[in-house]
Amino acid sequence: MSLLGIDLSETSCSLIVTSREGRILARAAREFRPSADETAPCDLNLRALWAALSDALRQVISETQADPIHALSISSIGEAIVPLSTSAQVLDACLLGDEGQDGAYVQRVEAALGRERFFDITGRVPAPSQALSRLCWIKEHQPQRFQQTWRFAFLGGVVSHLLGGSTLCDYSLAASTLLFDTRQERWSREVLAACDLPPSKLPDLAPAGTALGAVSAPIARELGLRSNVRIILGGSRVACSALGAGVIKSGLATYTIGNTIHMAPAFNAIILSSLLLRHGLSMAHHVVPDLFLSEMYNRSGGSVLRWFSDHLAPLEKREAQVRGVDVYSMLLGEMPEEPTNLMVLPHFAPVGPPISDDQSCGVVVGLRLDTTRGEILRALLEGVTYYFAAGQETLEHIGIPVHLYRATGGGARSSAWLQLTADILGVPVERTRVLKPAPLGAAIIAGVGCGDYAHYEEAVEAQVHVRDRFEPDARKHARYREQVARYRALYPLLAEYLHSLSTSPAA
């Protein structure tokens, strides 16, 4: 009997089916339009999502008849909320809009509770564009819609409900709302009171791995599933990705290379959590019991590689398209083996409203007439990684050391990029079999929740397989430590100027 993991975003769904022994039996992915109504582009079209998910489900179900699915779980984003009626019917589109994005509602709560108390309750640094802001905005500007809503559920819970299960929310997903008491593991009465939001409007909470019911008989017949397929409560995409990469104990971290780069270290609860707040870092429950995750982003990430190919290698990009090969692999092959003497600071404003890619500014220091294109490319990747090297030092100071990274995302296909990362960070980097591990993490939760595995350690041993390991080169790392020190000194000198360029009308 096999396990199904589903990962949901605002524009796509990804599925994986694995055997209990860890063989991948089927995969599927579908994309869909975020909104059927172009006048409301920030509302997620649930009909389109369900159509895409149903089609993907039929595919993987048809491919696994010899080893049928008997349990499933869902990984999902935490930004989307869905209003449900008293009869648990979907009242409206899945809300992904910019309601409250200016941060006014969060600022009111922060003023009422104090920044430190807010963090002590939620483990989160106050920020706009969370469920807190969205719910407050709906209550203030659309009171009738708010009153008609029995519960505001999250995307994974709604899909569970559509399949026949309940709308429970796990702790990792609840943390993203800014309404969750991370110590008491319940919706925070203090924060809700400061927002004037009734707790009855939010879904019930439970730890990941909780049974939610079974796929209903009509849905099972429609999709071709066997009867009594169990639905197990999953978690947030960040936490499921960490689980799917095998990050299940302190000292491990995911290092996700996509359009952005994202680091998520796992750690046990720390007493001096105020140090996290001092450095602007949040914490949230992992789906694995007694573990937490923090997060660090660099929005430059793979976007600098796209910029490089679009503007500095347009002929190679067209040639790669004609030949049907990956242009990034071609370009990364031009990089020199040795560290560069260049210093690149791709800049995205650390405060204020998000800055779009075409507004972001950066600087390259140390260009010479004999500087090659390959050196510039390597310097771009070095500059992005220096940000995480500085962040890694901060984490160690707080008491969250990282001894091993598990690389995920499309950029993790590049061995050269992963070796560069290991050399700069001075920590081994491993590449696993599944580079987009959120659906695998959900499948692992399904296996633990239905009793196929006694615990997460057993499940990860069966399901997560390391294919490559990149050890840091001690000589290169010593040189990079000097560069990171220069990065730390140079960035404050340029940050204000670059931010002014990014936010000016002429940028």
Would you kindly state where each structural domain of the chain is located, as residue ranges? 2-236, 298-431+473-503
Predicted local confidence at residue 80, as pLDDT: 80
Distances (CA, A) of 458 to 84, 102, 452: 37, 45, 10
Q: Residue 334: name the closest of 316, 349, 321, 354 by CA.
A: 316
Which two structure tokens, joined as six digits, stand for 325?
């090969």
Q: Alpha carbon 88 to chain centroid distance? A: 28
Residue pair 52/36 in contact (Cβ under 8 Å)? The answer is: no
Predicted local confidence at residue 443, as pLDDT: 98
Residue pair 160/8 in contact (Cβ under 8 Å)? The answer is: no
Cite the beta strand spans of 176-334 per DSSP E: 180-181, 186-187, 211-214, 230-236, 252-257, 261-267, 283-285, 292-294, 296-298
Predicted local confidence at residue 90, as pLDDT: 77
pLDDT under 50: residue ranges of the chain: 36, 38-42, 348-358, 507
Superfamily of domain 2-236: ATPase, nucleotide binding domain (3.30.420.40)
Predicted local confidence at residue 328, as pLDDT: 86
Mention every residue, 6+ apart, whose C-beta is less than 8 A from residue 504.
none
Taking the domain 298-431+473-503, which CATH number applies?
3.30.420.40
pLDDT tens sequence across 460-481: 999 999 999 999 999 999 999 9
Give this prediction's pTM.
0.92
Q: What are phi and psi of 216, to 5 degrees?
A: -65, 155
Q: Residue 85: name the closest of 14, 7, 152, 4 by CA.
A: 152
How far apart (Å, rounded) are the C-alpha atoms in residues 344 and 244?
A: 32
How far apart (Å, rounded) are the C-alpha atoms in residues 357 and 307?
A: 9
> Cα torsion at 184, 188, 190, 191 (round to 10°)?
140
Q: Residue 328: name the closest of 204, 439, 417 by CA.
A: 417
Q: Residue 463: name the closest of 445, 484, 483, 489 by CA.
A: 445
Residue pair 434/16 in contact (Cβ under 8 Å)? The answer is: yes
Distances (CA, A) of 75 to 4, 251, 396, 456: 11, 23, 29, 16
* Fold match flag (2-236 vs 298-431+473-503): yes
Residue pair 92/461 in contact (Cβ under 8 Å)? The answer is: no
pLDDT tens sequence across 367-414: 999 999 999 999 999 999 999 999 999 999 888 999 999 999 999 999
Predicted local confidence at residue 97, as pLDDT: 54
- Bridge partners (DSSP) of residue 24 are 18
Mention every residue, 6+ apart, whose C-beta is less than 8 A from residue 276.
119, 123, 270, 282, 283, 294, 398
